[in-house]
A and B are shown apart, each in its own frame.
Chain A
Amino acid sequence: MLHSSVTFVQEGHLLMLSSLPVTIQLGMLYALMSLGVYITFRILNFPDLTVDGSFTTGGAVAAIMIMQGYHPWLALAGAFVGGLLAGVCTGLLHTKGKINGLLSGILMMIALHSINYRIMGMPNVSLFKIDTIFPNASAISEAPYLRTVVFFSVILGVLIIKLLLDWFLHTDLGLALRATGDNDRMIRSFGANTDMTKIVGISLSNGLVALSGGLIAQSSAYADVYMGVGMIVIGLASVIIGEAIFGTRNVFFATLAAMLGSVIYRIIVDLALRVEWLEASDMKLITALIVIIALVVPAAQKQWRNRSVARKRALTLHTTDLPGGESDA
């Protein structure tokens, strides 16, 4: 895709310099997807596999609408709506259909594969030489400063969406949504319909994922029925990497972490692709490994820490308390 960047060799190390803005920009476009994954995975505590399908839905809707002559911005709105609808379906399957969460996501992912094919009518669509919201190659060669304009516009645009999401999560509805994932029995006892909050959350999540898909299709001038494969794992990896680096002390930092995690993920991919013995096709394995490590290590650490604390505490009891003595405080 976007690996045409210049690299140069310095003291035997491969350094990437000029491609960094390109990678960051790509990471920011995918950041909307990881924000979506953050909503389901972290807020609703619901690993939603719909993402693999809805990302493609976004790309497919955007590409086809542009092909048919709709304005590229309208095409993006269409992608967003497509994702919202896909999310509503998953939410309905899970809440009203009482289907297990993972299975509802898988069912929608499979169903969307056919739907995406129907939307596009063919396995892939090229937007080469068609106007998108991104300037095409000839426009950039005429006015190179456009590259910088696009770079900062993307960052600003994604940042605005992040801030809108932060705002939403602090509204009454947003609080109910967060409480649904945190303690659904409690929020029901205060009058929120948890079926409704789950559907809203899953829908918004897939809307953002599809928006990301629409942006990626436009920026790479290409949409493909397989463009979403493995996206959920990339989203999880981004969220987890971001959390490890930036923490989750409140909503602002948690969404910032999801966003920047996506950028860091892209930089990791970029670096990995420069390792000679790694193939581009190894990336999915590496991504899965990142997620596995990020899930296993903290759990193991916690267990190990608890055990050592318990052991120390037990030892102090041996030395201070007489057998049969009152130890209850």
Chain B
Amino acid sequence: MLKMRQVTKLFFPGTVDEKIALVDVNLLLQPGDFVTIIGSNGAGKSTLMNIISGGLKPETGTVTIQDTEVQQLSEHKRSRWIGRVFQDPMAGTAPHMTIEENLAIAYARGKSRGLSFGVNRLKRLFFKEQLSLLGIGLEDRLRARVGQLSGGERQALSLLMATFTRPKILLLDEHTAALDPNRAELITAMTEKLVREMQLTTLMVTHNMEQAIRLGNRLIMMDKGRIILDFNEEEKRSLTIEKLLAEFEKISGHKLADDKMVFG
């Protein structure tokens, strides 16, 4: 489904600030894989996401989505295959537009945007049905402006908008990190349910090690622009936070340091 081969990305090449963001990254995702990614600050997790989504272009290497090489395609062209939820709850929705208008924008993913009504009766019914799956009452507020929703509600809407057109790949970039623990748990549960029901191929960056171990069928750890650990479903089942930390120290030669890292 997703294949990355020998991807390297530099920032500020040739200057004193040169930073190696990704080095020779190889990654192969099977359809339906749900991969969690952890790593310390500056490990290259966000760069990896941006290379896949098209926000950044790699210096070398290829990114292939379902037999199409995409590394040179612009972000908006790739987004026909890629659904994405950002860390910032404000980032995934248009605040001055209504819930149904936001959903209509998401619904048009991969289609050409022409001069037919964005929201019509049929679509509205579909949106209502989809919103009711979230179970937080948004289906009764179709015409409310998204700016009036709470951070958690906005993130739930973003998640639905990113997934309900069944993208080939779903990118979740610490999408619960900005929420309080209760809401974060709610969004995590929604994520699990939607990914499972739609069998979406998913990459999820998280700072929560417990979550990284609990969710998905594969766990990747990154450090200094490289993928240093890769646990499959079976290995992951017996994994604990302590084991993960010990493995990390053994391979990287330093302790996992991240202000945001949550261990429990």
Q: Do A and B come from one complex?
A: yes
Whether B115 contacts A172 by the Cβ 8 Å rule is yes
Minimum CB–CB distance for B26 against chain A, Å: 25
Q: Which interface class (under 10, 10 to 19, 20 to 34, 35 or more) fits A?
A: 20 to 34
CB pair A188 B76 closer than 8 Å? yes
Interfacial chain A residues near B80, Cβ < 8 Å: 191
Chain B 47-67 per-residue mask, 1 if CB under 8 angstroms from chain A, else 0: 000000100000000000000
**Are B76 and A192 in touch, CB under 8 angstroms?**
yes
A194 at the interface (CB under 8 A from B): yes
Within 8 A of A (CB), among B94-109: 94-97, 101-102, 104-106, 108-109
Contacts of A179 in B (CB 8 A): 94, 97, 102, 105
Residue of B nearest to A174 (CB): B118
User: Is B94 within 8 A of A178, CB to CB?
Assistant: yes
Check A171 against B93 for contact (C-beta < 8 Å).
no
Interface of B, secondary structure class, is: loop
Chain B residues within 8 Å of A185, by CB: 86, 91
User: For residue A189, which residues in chain B have a CB less than 8 angstroms away from its CB?
Assistant: 53, 75, 79, 82, 84, 92, 162
A193-B76 in contact (CB<8A): yes
B79 touches A188 (CB 8 A): yes
- Closest CB-CB distance, B117 to chain A, in whole Å? 6
Q: Contact at A171–B76, with CB atoms within 8 Å?
A: no
Asked whether A145 is an interface residue with its Cβ less than 8 Å from the other chain, the reply is no
- Least distance between A317 CB and chain B CB atoms (Å): 19
Q: Are B77 and A173 within 8 A (Cβ)?
A: no
* A173→B105 contact, CB < 8 A: no
Is there contact, CB below 8 Å, between B116 and A172?
yes
In the complex, the answer to whether A171 meets B114 with C-beta atoms within 8 Å is: yes
- Is there a chain A Cβ closer than 8 Å to B151's Cβ? no
Which of B79, B86, B93 is in CB contact (< 8 Å) with A191?
A: B79
Cβ contacts under 8 Å, B178 to chain A: none
Query: Is B79 a contact of A182 with CB atoms below 8 Å?
Result: no
Cβ B94 vs Cβ A182 within 8 A: yes
B75 in contact with A188 (CB, 8 Å): yes
Most A-side CB within 10 Å, residue of B82, B92, B94: B94
Using Cβ atoms and an 8 Å threshold, which residues of chain A touch B114?
Answer: 171-173
Which chain B residues border A187 with CB–CB below 8 Å? 94, 105
Residues of A within 8 A of B190 (CB): none
At the interface, yes or no: B119 with Cβ under 8 Å from chain A? yes
Among A176, A178, A186, A189: residue with most chain B CB under 10 A = A189
Contact for A170 among B102, B106, B118, B161, CB less than 8 A:
B118
A140 CB–B CB distance under 8 Å: no
Indicate if B250 sits at the interface (CB-CB under 8 A). no
A137 at the interface (CB under 8 A from B): no
| Contact across chains for B91 and A182 when beta carbons are under 8 A apart | no
User: How close is A194's CB to chain B, nearest CB, in angstroms?
Assistant: 7
A175 adjacent to chain B (CB < 8 Å): yes
Q: B117 and A183: CB pair below 8 A?
A: no
Residues of A within 8 A of B111 (CB): 172
A175-B118 contact given A186-B93, A189-B92, CB 8 Å threshold = yes
Does the CB pair B97–A171 fall under 8 Å? no
Most buried by B among A171, A175, A190, A192: A190
Q: What residues on A are CB-neighbors of B84 within 8 Å?
A: 189
Known: A171-B115, A175-B101, A192-B113. A186 touches B76 (CB 8 A): no
Q: Look across to chain B and name the residue whose beta carbon is closest to the beta carbon of A249.
A: B145
Complexed CA–CA distance, A171 and B115 (Å): 5
Instruction: Please measure, in the bound complex, the distance between the C-alpha atom of A191 and the C-alpha atom of B162, giving whole angstroms.
Output: 12
Q: Nearest chain-A residue to B98 (Cβ)?
A: A250
Tell me if A186 and B77 are in contact (CB < 8 A).
no
- The answer for the CA separation of A120 and B161 in the assembled complex, in Å, is 52
B32 within 8 A of A: no
| Complex CA–CA separation, A187 to B118 (angstroms) | 14
Q: What's the minimum C-beta distance from A99 to chain B, rounded to whole angstroms?
A: 20
The residues of B with any CB-CB pair to A shorter than 8 Å are: 53, 74-77, 79-80, 82, 84, 86, 90-97, 101-102, 104-106, 108-111, 113-119, 161-162
What 15 new A-B contacts, CB under 8 Å, besides A188-B76, A189-B84, A189-B162? A170-B117, A171-B116, A171-B117, A172-B117, A174-B118, A176-B105, A178-B101, A179-B94, A182-B96, A183-B90, A185-B91, A189-B92, A191-B110, A192-B108, A192-B113
Can you report 5 residue pairs joining A to B where beta carbons are below 8 Å apart? A170-B118, A171-B118, A186-B105, A188-B75, A192-B105
